[in-house]
Amino acid sequence: MDHQLTDFTINLQEIELLAPKLNRGIQVIFVIHGELTIETNSRYYHLKEKDVLVINRNQLYQAKGSKQNHVLLLQISDQYMQQNYEEYSMSRFECFSGEVDLGRESVINRIRRLVAELMITFFRRDLGYRIEIQSYISDILLILIRRFKQEGTIQEKVETGDRRLMQIIDYMERNYQQTLTLDDVAKKFYLSPSYFSRYFKNKVGIGFNRYLMKVRLEHAMKDLLYTPDSISNIAMNNGFPNVKSFVQYFKEVYKQTPKLYREANQEISIDYTKTYDLQDAAHIIQSSDVLEEIGGLLTDTDEGYSNTETQYTELNLDIRKAAVSKLHRPKHNLAIGELSELLKEGVRRQILMAKKELRLEYIGVRKLIGGSTFMPPVETDEIIATTSPYYNADFALNFLRKYHLSLFIRVDYKEVSNDEVNFFNGMDDFIKHCLNVYGIPFVEKWYVMFYESSTTVSGSELERIYTKLYQSLKKRVPSIKVGAFLPFSFKDGKTDKNHTWLVEKNLPIDFFGYEANQNEIIDFEELGDDRISIAEGYIKEKTVKVKAYLKKHAKNQHVSLVSWNTLSGNTRHTNGTFFRGALILQNALEIADEVDSLGFWINTEQHEKSVRDRKIRMEGLELYHYFNGKRPAYFAMQFLERLNGSIICQDREYVMTKNERGYQLILMNINNVNPYFTVEETFLKKLNKEVRVTISGLQNGEYQIRKRVFDKDYGALYTKWWELNSKYGMDEEVIHYINETSKPSLELFDEKIEGDWSFYSYMTLNAIHFFDIRRAFH
């Protein structure tokens, strides 16, 4: 022992046998070489090489080891723990590396590494080693407190359903070492002393003071048999007012003095161990055999674990009591800009990828008539022209028909009003052409949405144009869907006066489109959390408000969320740097049964090209970045598409389904924070969360568990862009690497489940963890 580290004892031992003893403080046992079996008053632990076990305060234990083992013992004193951790007397730590639950491997590896580094530092004794040792011990304790703490056991002496009585007994069990009086305890639980005295004796069967002495005696008995402490110290340490009262009460119960009882009953406490001195220990630690054993621990990068202040929660799912519900799937509408964008191979490739993995059904286009898709007519003397203004459009439409995709056409008021006659003639000619070439079944699946969000155009004018558009399209294709965009104020709960005709007039409208974007209601000049908190639940709440508003006016048509976003900021710097995977998935899940379709933009390039100033767009989610890199919306929706079966458990941060292969579970760590805090890594780490999941009701048997993680480290595109960016540019090799490595991780486990199944998930900010729990058949 280093006498200058009085709060800690660090020993390297060869343990053949440890006689039964009562542990003081916290003891961390690390087996470097060989094996060690430890028996406590509750169970056995078999430790192999690199195993770690924590022995708690006042815990009885004994040990038996293999020959020539090497075991590191770290003892942390009660005094140190009590001074630095106020909940110490009420806590215990259940930490044994041999039985680590799924999801905690990285935490155990971190403890192993810290113990190994502490061991080397202690025995090498380089400059400043005392400070370094205290740093390692602090890190170990923080992990135990934040990852492995459990409430201290309550010795329930009384069978009762009286909750208040159990709280009183619990308090006495935890504070028996202190000076406790009946008056003090009565006051703490808001009872009069006289009533409390009668109440306690009536419920427990003995009086308050006799029960307290009984508790103190049970604890003192451990000290008497398993420690060399003096009788006076045992009395003082266990709350007796003096030695006389301890001896008197002991004789009353055991019919002899504590001294005679100890002499007659104390077990022979001979330890067969070898404790290495500093020089020998240093030689062993630096030997090739030991360094080889711990070498892997010292090179571990600790990926997936961060020793920071995190939230700890428990999630208990009893699927035996599950209320089964259907999983709803809205249609997906992918905006690409003009129809002519389909002439680009890259755009087609992105569409086909989304079609395959995200169940894409509609392609959204703008400026169909007034844009650049149609070629100008060419004067010719041919009876049947060999050129066609629809050459490019036909190429695009053939692609859509081949892959069973339909159009979602946005018609802007400005596009019509610039040249109303030519617009309607052009639209009618195009519809006739499509009917002749592709037939009614293809065209009748299209959606056409009239759009104008401006408050400067009169309602009567908007109504006139919409009515003309509706009649023109329905004349040719009666079953085509024609609807209108509904500007809607979240704050006011209604549309503006120039759009009230949409709900107050009895006009034929097949569907309503709307937008939802939290950035519209956030004042980014205010950096406080209270301003950002109003974004929580915004998309679901706006959707509910829109539908309630329509229902109030007897409008029961489907609604389509044509553009939406999560909280992202109002600059290019904040937009994208704030990881939002779980926010996107949560919003999609929350409104899945409320909307007919969800809208996305295909990529950043097309999205920014939709405005002339090319500033970063905030009003929509993009599936791809530049160069085919997948953005968070892509992977979030991919997880939603992977989910299948019937929903059996669901809340804000999780959803579980049952299907023919077994079960699926999605966990989300959802946080709405100010995007400007994305540069404050320390702040964001405090929003990380560890979840202990316990599932009851799984059928016993063997399972294959597939775990996918999507977070800022696994799948976030911007992380890789930052790491590999260069002012001299990036070639194809770098871009390909970024795109290939920016995807969720995949882990595979075999698990035998009998009874309740528990595991841990350590989740960073807005992370998504997806578990595929597949039954194995033999």
Residue 523 token pair: 């004042």
Whole-angstrom Cα distance, residue 116 to residue 120? 6
Residue 185 token pair: 């305890």
pLDDT surpasses 90 at 534:
no
pLDDT surpasses 60 at 728:
yes
Which element (helix H / strand E) includes 664? strand 662-668
Q: Is 766 left (phi over 0), alpha (psi -120 to 50) or beta?
A: left
List the one residue out of 399, 404, 332, 413 whose CA is nearest residue 366. 413
Check residue 487 and give its pLDDT. 95
Residue 758 token pair: 């528990």
pLDDT surpasses 80 at 148:
yes
Check residue 611 and give its pLDDT. 62
What is the rounded average pLDDT for all residues in the chain?
85
Q: What is the mean pLDDT of residues 80-84?
A: 89
Residue 299 token pair: 């090179």
Model confidence at 533, in pLDDT bands (50, 70, 90)?
low
Check residue 576 and give its pLDDT. 55
Whole-angstrom Cα distance, residue 209 to residue 250? 15
Check residue 228 and give its pLDDT. 82
Whole-angstrom Cα distance, residue 518 to residue 536? 9
Check residue 312 and give its pLDDT. 79
Whole-angstrom Cα distance, residue 584 to residue 139? 35
Long-range contacts of 196-204 (CB under 8 A, 24+ apart): 200/165, 200/168, 203/158, 203/160, 203/162, 203/165, 204/157, 204/158, 204/165, 204/169
Counting Cβ atoms within 10 Å, is residue 562 exposed (0-12), middle (13-18) or buried (19+)? buried
List the one residue out of 623, 604, 717 whose CA is nearest residue 350. 623
Calculated CA dihedral for residues 529, 531, 532, 537, nearest 10 degrees? 120
**Residue 110 in contact with residue 307, Cβ under 8 Å?**
yes
% helix, strand, coil for the chain, step of 5: 40, 25, 35
List the one residue out of 718, 726, 729 whose CA is nearest residue 629. 718
Residue 741 token pair: 């490595």
Residue 295 token pair: 């070498």
For the chain, state the CA radius of gyration.
35
Please tell me whether residue 576 adopts helix, strand or coil conformation.
coil
Q: What is the mean pLDDT of residues 485-499?
A: 94
**Residue 98 in contact with residue 48, Cβ under 8 Å?**
yes
Residue 438 token pair: 């592709």
**Residue 587 in contact with residue 609, Cβ under 8 Å?**
no
How many helices (DSSP H) and strands (DSSP E) are in the chain?
27, 28
Check residue 555 and give its pLDDT. 95
Calculated CA dihedral for residues 112, 117, 123, 125, nearest 10 degrees? -160
Model confidence at 545, in pLDDT bands (50, 70, 90)?
very high
Q: What is the mean pLDDT of residues 746-773?
A: 92
Please tell me whether residue 80 adopts helix, strand or coil conformation.
helix
Three-point CA angle 73, 74, 80, nearest 5°: 150
Whole-angstrom Cα distance, residue 228 to residue 222? 11
Q: What is the mean pLDDT of residues 497-518?
A: 94
Report which of residues 61 and 160 the model is more confident about.
61
Name residue, tokens 């030997």. Answer: 287
List the one residue out of 333, 356, 329 whose CA is nearest residue 598. 333
**Residue 513 in contact with residue 451, Cβ under 8 Å?**
yes
Model confidence at 725, in pLDDT bands (50, 70, 90)?
confident
Whole-angstrom Cα distance, residue 509 to residue 120? 76
- Kindly report the number of other CB atoms within 10 A of residue 634's CB atom: 24
Check residue 155 and give its pLDDT. 43
Q: Which residues contact 685 (CB under 8 A, 6 or more apart)?
A: 306, 308, 309, 310, 764
Model confidence at 86, in pLDDT bands (50, 70, 90)?
confident
Model confidence at 732, in pLDDT bands (50, 70, 90)?
confident
Q: Find which of 86-100, 246-260, 267-281, 348-362 is predicted with most confidence, using mean pLDDT.
A: 348-362
- Kindly report the number of other CB atoms within 10 A of residue 485's CB atom: 23
Residue 384 token pair: 């049947």
Whole-angstrom Cα distance, residue 248 to residue 260? 13
pLDDT surpasses 90 at 161:
no
Of 9-23, 138-152, 373-387, 476-490, minimum mean pLDDT range: 373-387
- Which residue type sits at 471? Q
Model confidence at 518, in pLDDT bands (50, 70, 90)?
confident
- Kindly report the number of other CB atoms within 10 A of residue 521's CB atom: 14
pLDDT surpasses 70 at 235:
yes
Q: What is the mean pLDDT of residues 755-766?
A: 90
Q: What is the mean pLDDT of residues 619-624?
A: 86
pLDDT surpasses 50 at 613:
no
Residue 561 token pair: 């969320």
- Kindly report the number of other CB atoms within 10 A of residue 344's CB atom: 13
Q: Find which of 377-386, 677-686, 753-762 is predicted with most confidence, using mean pLDDT.
A: 753-762
Counting Cβ atoms within 10 Å, is residue 225 exposed (0-12), middle (13-18) or buried (19+)? middle
Check residue 154 and give its pLDDT. 42
Beta bridge partners of 696: 318
pLDDT surpasses 60 at 608:
yes
Beta bridge partners of 494: 489
Residue 529 token pair: 């959390």
End-to-end CA distance of the chain: 56
Largest CA distance in the chain: 127
| Helices 163-174 and 208-226: angle between axes, nearest 10 degrees | 40
- Concatenated DSSP letters of 48-75: -TT-EEEEPTT-EEEEEE-TT-EEEEEE
Q: What is the mean pLDDT of residues 67-94?
A: 88
Whole-angstrom Cα distance, residue 494 to residue 483? 18
Of 202-216, 293-307, 422-436, 729-743, minimum mean pLDDT range: 293-307
Whole-angstrom Cα distance, residue 141 to residue 91? 13
Tell me phi and psi for residue 658, to 5 degrees.
-120, 135
Beta bridge partners of 691: 313, 761
Give, in order, the Cα–Cα distances in Å from 165 to each of 158, 159, 325, 754: 9, 10, 42, 35
Show the 3-state SS of 355-392. Answer: HHHHCCCEEEEECCCCCCCCCCCCCCCCCCCCCCCCHH
E strands, 252-381, where? 272-275, 311-318, 331-337, 362-366
Report which of residues 713 and 707 the model is more confident about.
707
Q: What size, in residues, is the chain?
A: 778
**Residue 626 in contact with residue 730, Cβ under 8 Å?**
no
Beta bridge partners of 681: none
Model confidence at 270, in pLDDT bands (50, 70, 90)?
low
Report which of residues 44 and 50 the model is more confident about.
50
List the one residue out of 53, 45, 71 whose CA is nearest residue 111. 53
List the one residue out of 412, 400, 401, 408 whose CA is nearest residue 347. 400
Check residue 528 and give its pLDDT. 54
Q: Which residues contact 300 (CB under 8 A, 6 or more apart)?
A: 109, 110, 112, 113
- Which residue type sits at 36? L
pLDDT surpasses 70 at 669:
yes
